[in-house]
Amino acid sequence: MLNYNTTQGLFFGGNFWDGRATGMKLQAPDAEQAQGPPVDPLEMGSPDIACIAWKLSQAVYRPLFELVWGADFDINWPSNTEQVCSTPQGAFGTNITPVALSAVDRTKATNIYDHWGQSLSFLERSKDISPFNSKFDWYLKGTAGVTLTADEMAGYKLFNGKGNCNSCHVDGRSTTLTPGQTDTGNTASVEPLFTCHGFANEGLPLNPRISLFYESRADGVGFTPNPDGLRYRDLGLGNFLRSGPQSFPDPNQPEWLSLAPTADGQMQVMTARDVALTPPQCPTTEAGQAANGKPVPYFQKEFFHNGYIKSLKQLVHFYNTRDSVPNPNGNKTYAFAVTSGHCPAGTVERVTCWPQPEVKNNIDMTTGALGLTDTEENQIVAFLETLTDGYNPANPTVSTYKNIDTFTGQCSTTTPGETASNQGNAYLIPTWNLAQFPCATDICGVPPLPTMKIP
Distances (CA, A) of 345 to 11, 13, 429: 41, 43, 15
Establish if 213 belongs to a structural domain. no
Domain limits at 43?
A: 36-125
pLDDT given for residue 330 in this prediction: 61
Cα 23–Cα 29–Cα 30 angle in degrees, nearest 5:
155
Last residue of a domain, one of 101, 125, 149: 125
Would you say 355 and 194 are in contact if contact means Cβ atoms under 8 Å apart? no
249 CB-contact burial (10 Å; exposed 0-12 / middle 13-18 / buried 19+): exposed
Give yes or no: residues 182 and 285 share one domain. Answer: yes
Last residue of a domain, one of 105, 125, 145: 125
Give yes or no: residues 54 and 149 share one domain. Answer: no
Distance CA 327, CA 184 (A): 34
Distance CA 455, CA 453 (A): 6
Question: Residue-wise pLDDT tens for the chain (455 aa)?
Answer: 999 999 999 999 999 999 999 999 999 999 999 999 999 999 999 999 999 999 999 999 999 999 999 989 999 999 999 999 999 999 999 999 999 999 999 999 999 999 999 999 999 999 999 999 999 999 999 999 999 999 999 999 999 999 999 999 999 887 887 777 777 676 766 789 999 999 999 999 999 999 999 999 999 999 999 999 999 999 999 999 999 999 999 999 999 999 999 999 999 999 999 999 999 999 999 999 988 889 999 999 999 999 999 999 999 999 999 998 765 566 688 999 999 999 999 999 999 999 999 999 999 999 999 999 999 999 999 999 999 999 999 999 999 999 999 999 999 999 999 999 999 999 999 999 999 999 999 999 999 999 999 99
Give yes or no: residues 98 and 177 share one domain. Answer: no
How much of the chain is in helix, strand and coil states, percent to nearest 5? 30, 5, 65
Give yes or no: residues 152 and 120 share one domain. Answer: no
Establish if 236 belongs to a structural domain. no
Distance CA 361, CA 144 (A): 48
Give yes or no: residues 119 and 175 share one domain. Answer: no
Establish if 403 belongs to a structural domain. yes
31 alpha carbon, distance to own chain's centre: 16
Give yes or no: residues 139 and 110 share one domain. Answer: no
Establish if 254 belongs to a structural domain. no
Distance CA 165, CA 367 (A): 9
DSSP state of 186: P
Establish if 435 belongs to a structural domain. yes
| H helix runs in 161-311, sequence order | 237-241
Establish if 231 belongs to a structural domain. no
Phi/psi region, residue 316 (left: phi>0; alpha: psi -120 to 50; beta: rest), is alpha
Domain with residue 166: its CATH number is: 1.10.760.10
pLDDT given for residue 361 in this prediction: 98
Which among 315, 350, 340, 203 has a CA at the least distance from the CA of 267? 203
Give yes or no: residues 143 and 87 share one domain. Answer: no
Distance CA 266, CA 203 (A): 9
Distance CA 377, CA 214 (A): 35
91 alpha carbon, distance to own chain's centre: 29
Give yes or no: residues 426 and 386 share one domain. Answer: yes
For residue 136, what is the enclosing H or E element?
A: helix 135-140
pLDDT given for residue 333 in this prediction: 87
Give yes or no: residues 121 and 135 share one domain. Answer: no
Would you say 428 and 349 are in contact if contact means Cβ atoms under 8 Å apart? yes
**Judging by DSSP bridges, how do beta strands 267-268 and 199-200 pair with one another?**
antiparallel
pLDDT given for residue 175 in this prediction: 80
Distances (CA, A) of 406 to 279, 378, 392: 8, 29, 18
Establish if 215 belongs to a structural domain. no
Give yes or no: residues 192 and 310 share one domain. Answer: yes
pLDDT given for residue 229 in this prediction: 98
| Non-local CB neighbours of 422 within 8 Å, separated by 6+ positions | 348, 350, 351
Tell me the residue length of the chain: 455
Question: Strands, E, within 171-231: which ranges?
Answer: 199-200
pLDDT given for residue 174 in this prediction: 78
Phi, psi (deg, nearest 5) at residue 126: -80, 170
Would you say 305 and 239 are in contact if contact means Cβ atoms under 8 Å apart? no
Distance CA 2, CA 67 (A): 31
Last residue of a domain, one of 125, 155, 184: 125
Phi, psi (deg, nearest 5) at residue 116: -65, -45
pLDDT given for residue 293 in this prediction: 87
Helix, strand, or coil (residue 348): coil
Establish if 178 belongs to a structural domain. yes
Give yes or no: residues 190 and 305 share one domain. Answer: yes
Question: For the chain, how many structural domains are there in total?
Answer: 2
**Judging by DSSP bridges, how do beta strands 10-12 and 3-5 pair with one another?**
antiparallel
Would you say 357 and 365 are in contact if contact means Cβ atoms under 8 Å apart? no
Distance CA 264, CA 454 (A): 10
Give yes or no: residues 60 and 157 share one domain. Answer: no
Find the distance separating the first CA and the last CA of the chain, reported in whole Å. Answer: 32
pLDDT given for residue 401 in this prediction: 97
Would you say 208 and 218 are in contact if contact means Cβ atoms under 8 Å apart? no
Helix, strand, or coil (residue 36): coil
